[in-house]
Amino acid sequence: MELELIRTYYPDGTNGELKDGAQQICCTIELPWLMNVHNISCIPEAKYELAKRYHEHYGWHLHVLNVPAREWILIHPATDAETQLKGCIAPVSVLVGHGKGTATRIANEKLRSLVYGAMKNEKVFLTIKSKTL
């Protein structure tokens, strides 16, 4: 499975559209692009493999593997990138500002269900790129 995250960058946060082919799965929020600096920047545009991961705070979620110069980049619920993320990606149902969204648990469950189902038979990859005008 090949997922695509199409980002729009703003000085105070990054918003995205997460798609499976032509179908939108959900929106995303992230920190702004600040040269991949740990804890204050979103991760670089590239193709990454996703894996299942369990954490007692977040429960089951997705782990973005092999991010350059970063560790433990996850896909997990959050509504405000600035206060709740340190480089991770948060699925949201509705974008309400730069790096801000709502109904994150609903979006996360939708994404997780889709990806975990696909992982039974194949590897899942996420390609991150900029929105082109």
What pTM was computed for the model? 0.96
The residue ranges of every structural domain in the chain are: 2-130
Rounded CA-CA distance 29/66 in Å is 20
pLDDT in the model for residue 133:
59
Q: Architecture of 2-130 per CATH?
A: Beta Barrel (2.40)
Q: In which element (H, E) is residue 81 found?
A: helix 81-84
Q: Are strands 90-92 and 13-20 parallel, antiparallel or unpaired?
A: unpaired
Contact residues for 76 (Cβ-Cβ < 8 A; gap 6+):
58, 61, 62, 88, 90, 108
Tens-digit pLDDT profile for the chain (133 aa)?
Answer: 999 999 999 999 999 999 999 999 999 999 999 999 999 999 999 999 999 999 887 788 999 999 999 999 999 999 999 999 999 999 999 999 999 999 999 999 999 999 999 999 999 999 999 987 5
Rounded CA-CA distance 40/60 in Å is 24
